[in-house]
Chains A and B, each alone.
Chain A
Amino acid sequence: MKFLRSSALTLAVGYIGLGLAALALFAAPLWYAWRVTIQEGRNEILQSDAQRLTEVFRREGAAGLISYVDQRVGLQIAGERLLLVADARLKPLAGNLSAWPSSVPANPGTYTVKLELGQHMTDVAIVHATLAGGYHLLVGRDTSRYAPLERRFWYALAGAVAILSVLGTVGGILIRRALMARIHGIRQTVSAIIQGDLSHRLPTHHSGDELNTLSQTINGMLDQIEQLIDGVRNVSNAIAHDLRTPLAELRSRLEELALTKPPIDKTFGEIDAAVADVDQVIRIFNALLRLAEIDSGLRRSGFVPVDVAAVAAAAVEFYQPAAEVRGSTLSLDAAGPAPIRGDPVLLAQALGNLIDNALKYTPGDGSIAVAVRRSDDGSVEIVVADSGPGIADTEKIKAIERFYRGDASRCTPGVGLGLSLVDAVARLHGSELKLEDNHPGLRARMVLTQDTRPITRAARATSDEGEFRHEPVYP
């Protein structure tokens, strides 16, 4: 009985019912009008007939009428028209009826009565007129003459009902089947996803109908979920790797201390090293929390007008001595202010990370160029280019991933979250981090736009501008 519960069938039955009602509403007045017209026409003919015969009687008397009727009956086909002339006692004088029918009312008038014609009882329309001298005149007509037409009308109506019902039912079944096929596809995909395989997507085509639009929306949601889950998976893998290393070191250091009980000065040295291990763990933790905070998109509620050029100038100034110590040059190219709406703390950290990264990977006497350019459309491009070894094309995407550290950089300090933090900040500001070749070296580039919708990550954007970010601790 699943079929009966289907919404497609309910819809089909509803439409069939509606069609039938429309058909009835259309046929009923037609039928009525038709009946009335035929009846009136027939009565008119009978009345004029009766009038003509009355005229004959008035002109030629009873004998004249009788001979006239006899003559007409002789010429006419029986049953086509009924004629009867009777005397005052209703004894038939002329006509094609053998006896005055008892069902005819005694008063003159127009009636429809049942008569036995041949072997059948038939509906007959009659006009009963009384003539001078007590004579009775009966003019009638068999109504069954229009029966075939009437029958055809009913047949046609029944046919229409049948066609409507059959087509409606078949249509309902077909629609249901098509719908069920697509719903089945969706259900299979969703079941696969529930089973844990997030790579499945709902089937879509280019028709742009409602189901397709729905499927596309759901696919978009699935993309987002998959990305988030991948993110979580990557982070847990990375935590497992990068957090375990210092923790393992810390553990073995402490265990060794407890086991060997070395002299006091060596013990203190080991304790200092243990504290440094813990600090590294805390640093990784803080970086992860920061990333999570940015990814949540909540920071967007605190966007304020920021001059990116000023932020870049401060960052360049901050890192200048570090570049000098390494013998590298750090330069800023910014023509005038570059205002956008954004988070000054995060933008400073992102720029700092990019410069820090460039310094770290550029050998001495290299050059690092920071550029901030404002386009006419209000977007602001930030480029940090270095003359270091750069990153191979195959590694460029990986470099932005969390905890990625190029093999060459395993021994330099850092937690491998620098570029992914920059990317997260860029995404929060409606952009993304792009790594390009600087021939030689690396060009890290992001274009911040005024339109700060998130690129892919889910975010709760609010228009609350009340929060002021940059409160100094010591006013």
Chain B
Amino acid sequence: MKVLLVEDNERVTQFVVKGLQEAGHTADHAGNGRDGMFLAASEPYDVIIMDRMLPGEIDGLAIIEALRKSGKRTPILILSALSDVDERIRGLRAGGDDYLTKPFAFGELLARLDALTRRSQGDSAQTKLEVADLRVDLLTRKVTRGDRSLTLQPREFKLLEYLMRHADQVVTRTMLLENVWDYHFDPQTNVVDVHISKLRQKIDADFERPLLRTVRNAGYTLTSHD
């Protein structure tokens, strides 16, 4: 994917750009609000990473608002040191699609960028999800793997649905907390891991090919590839 990073801190820029290139993406960089605004408006990007506090007259939120007003629908991830819940809400209201606070782990950033770009390709209308031989029917809420029907608790179903919607992507623990449980705080224990292992028991234990895998230092992924 093609990423625009609007960020004034050089170390963070270097870290993100290098990481994105290593993950096989192309990244452009703007060091101030005006350049960021210009690039975002003129070039087609798959996703934009926007710092909030930028040198120059234009700050991150102003750029986002201007882009949204001009009809640009490019997904935007706000990257900011402002961590208050209110700041997060302001960022999302201005037109951002996700909000990540500094300092952050690169895995978290990459996973969220993936989620944003896939989502913008549009799959919300789907009623049937499929990964290898695992099938989920969102209308009847039936889960089957191969020819076996599986019984899931409501929350397990929601967890699986989220993982399947983001199949072949890495989803982090924070992403699961925010989207499956709507918890916007750090519960400080490995409860998410326990939920995952329970789900794994149901969908993977009796099958030869495990689908739900742990990605070291990042999170989980549901995939049929090796």
The answer to whether B72 has its CB under 8 Å from any CB of chain A is no
- Interface contact B191-A286, CB-CB below 8 Å: no
Shortest Cβ distance from residue A282 to the other chain B in the assembled complex, whole angstroms? 6
Q: Interface code B82-107, partner A: CB below 8 Å = 1, 0 otherwise?
A: 01111001001000011100010100
Q: Verify if A348 is at the interface (C-beta below 8 Å from B).
A: yes
B189 contacts across to A, CB distance below 8 A: 322, 356, 359-360, 413
Residue of A nearest to B192 (CB): A318
The answer to whether B86 touches A286, judged by C-beta atoms less than 8 angstroms apart, is no
Q: Which of A353, A415, A474 interacts with B115 by CB under 8 Å?
A: A474
A286 to B217 alpha-carbon distance, docked (Å): 20
In the complex the two chains form, what is the Cα distance from A471 to B94 in whole Å?
13
Q: Which residues of A contact B68 (CB under 8 A)?
A: none
Task: Using CB atoms, name the residue of chain A closest to B191.
Answer: A322
- Judge whether B119 and A289 touch: CB under 8 Å: no
- Does the CB pair A289–B186 fall under 8 Å? no
**Min distance, Cβ A473 to any Cβ of chain B, angstroms:** 5
CA distance A3 to B171 in the complex (A): 79
Q: Is the CB of A473 within 8 A of B85?
A: no
Closest residue of chain B to A279, judged by CB? B105
Question: In whole Å, how far is B11's beta carbon from the nearest beta carbon of chain A?
Answer: 14
CA gap between A473 and B179 in the complex, in Å:
7
Interface residue B15 (Cβ < 8 Å from any Cβ of A): no
Q: Is the CB of A272 within 8 A of B103?
A: no
Within 8 A of B (CB), among A331-364: 345, 348-349, 352-353, 356, 359-360
Residue A290 at the B interface, CB < 8 A? yes
Contacts of B195 in A (CB 8 A): 321
User: Could you say which residues of chain B place their CB within 8 Å of the CB of A474?
Assistant: 115, 119, 179
Let me know if A345 and B85 touch, CB within 8 A: yes
Contacts of A322 in B (CB 8 A): 189-191, 194
Closest residue of chain A to B180 (Cβ to Cβ) is A318
Bound: A78/B97 CA distance, A? 123
Kindly list chain A residues whose C-beta atoms are within 8 Å of the C-beta of B84: 289, 293
CA distance A282 to B83 in the complex (A): 12
Q: A283 within 8 Å of B by Cβ?
A: yes
Contacts of B155 in A (CB 8 A): 317
Known: A282-B103, A325-B194, A473-B99. A318 touches B181 (CB 8 A): yes
Within the complex, which residue of B92, B103, B217 is in contact with A473, where a contact is CB–CB below 8 Å?
A: B92
A469 in the interface (beta carbon within 8 A): yes
- Chain A 308-341, CB-CB to B under 8 Å as 1, else 0, gives 0000001001110110010000000000000000
User: Which of B115, B119, B190, B195 has the most chain A CB atoms inside 10 A of its CB?
Assistant: B195
Shortest Cβ gap from A408 to chain B (Å): 18
* SS of A interface (majority): helix
Instruction: Tell me if A298 counts as interface (CB < 8 A to partner B).
Output: yes
Chain B residues touching A, range: 20 to 34
A79 within 8 A of B: no
- What residue in chain A is nearest B115 (Cβ atoms)? A474
Contact B89–A467 (Cβ < 8 Å): yes
Q: For the complex formed, measure the closest distance between the CB of B112 and the CB atoms of chain A, giving whole angstroms.
A: 9
Max chain B C-beta neighbours (<10 A), residue from A286, A321, A360:
A321
Give the chain A neighbours of B89 by CB distance below 8 A: 467-469, 471
Q: Are A345 and B191 in contact (CB under 8 A)?
A: no
Say yes or no for A19: interface residue by CB 8 A criterion. no
Q: Which residue of A lies closest to B103 (CB)?
A: A282
The residue of chain B having its C-beta at the shortest distance from the C-beta of A360 within the complex is B189
Please, which residues of chain B bring their CB within 8 A of the CB of A349? 183, 185, 187
For B178, the chain A residues whose CB sits under 8 A away are 472-473
A140 contacts the other chain (Cβ, under 8 Å)?
Answer: no
For the complex, what is the distance from the CA of A275 to the CA of B15, rounded to whole Å?
15
Q: Which residue of B lies closest to A417 (CB)?
A: B188
**What residues on B are CB-neighbors of A92 within 8 Å?**
none
Is A366 positioned at the interface, with any CB of B under 8 Å from its CB? no
In whole angstroms, what is the CA distance A353 to B155 when docked? 20
The minimal Cβ–Cβ distance linking B219 to chain A, given in whole angstroms, is: 14
Please name all residues of chain A whose beta carbon is closer than 8 Å to the beta carbon of B105 when the two chains form the complex. 275, 279
A275-290 contacts to B, CB under 8 A, are 275, 278-279, 282-283, 286, 289-290
Please, how many angstroms separate the alpha-carbon atoms of A468 and B88 in the complex?
A: 12
Cα of A71 to Cα of B182 in the assembled complex, Å: 130
Q: Which residues of B contact A352 (CB under 8 A)?
A: 183, 185, 187
CB-contact partner of B183 in A290, A348, A414, A467, under 8 A: A348
- Chain A contacts with B in 416-475, Cβ cutoff 8 A: 418, 467-474
List of A residues within 8 angstroms of B187 by Cβ: 318, 349, 352, 356
Cα distance, A283 to B101, chains bound together (Å)? 12
The CB with the most chain B CB atoms within 10 A, among A275, A473, A474, is that of A473
**Residues of the A chain whose Cβ atoms lie less than 8 Å from the Cβ of B103:** 278, 282
Task: Write out the residue numbers on chain B whose beta carbons fall within 8 Å of the beta carbon of A470.
Answer: 182
Is the pair B188, A413 in contact by a Cβ cutoff of 8 Å? yes
Contact of B18 with A by CB under 8 A: no
Are A318 and B191 interface neighbours, CB within 8 A?
yes
CA distance A275 to B179 in the complex (A): 26
B115 to A472, Cβ gap below 8 A? no
Residues of A within 8 A of B86 (CB): 298, 302, 467
Interface pair A319/B185, CB less than 8 Å apart: no
**Which residues in B have their C-beta under 8 angstroms from that of A314?**
181
Q: What's the Cα separation between A473 and B83 when bound, in Å? A: 15
Residues of A with C-beta under 8 A to B186: 283, 286
Q: In the complex, given contacts A275-B105, A415-B188, A471-B89, what are 8 additional A-B residue pairs having Cβ atoms less than 8 angstroms apart?
A: A272-B217, A286-B83, A318-B181, A321-B198, A345-B185, A348-B183, A349-B183, A473-B99
Which residues of B come within 8 Å of A, CB atoms? 83-86, 89, 92, 97-99, 103, 105, 115, 119, 155, 178-179, 181-191, 194-195, 198, 217
A-B CB contact pairs (8 Å), 5 listed: A279-B105, A322-B194, A349-B187, A356-B188, A468-B89
Footprint of B on A, CB under 8 Å?
Answer: 272, 275, 278-279, 282-283, 286, 289-290, 293, 298-299, 302, 314, 317-319, 321-322, 325, 345, 348-349, 352-353, 356, 359-360, 413-415, 418, 467-474
Task: List the 10 shortest-distance A-B pairs measured between CB atoms, nearest first.
Answer: A321-B194, A349-B185, A322-B191, A322-B194, A321-B198, A352-B187, A473-B178, A474-B179, A473-B98, A356-B189
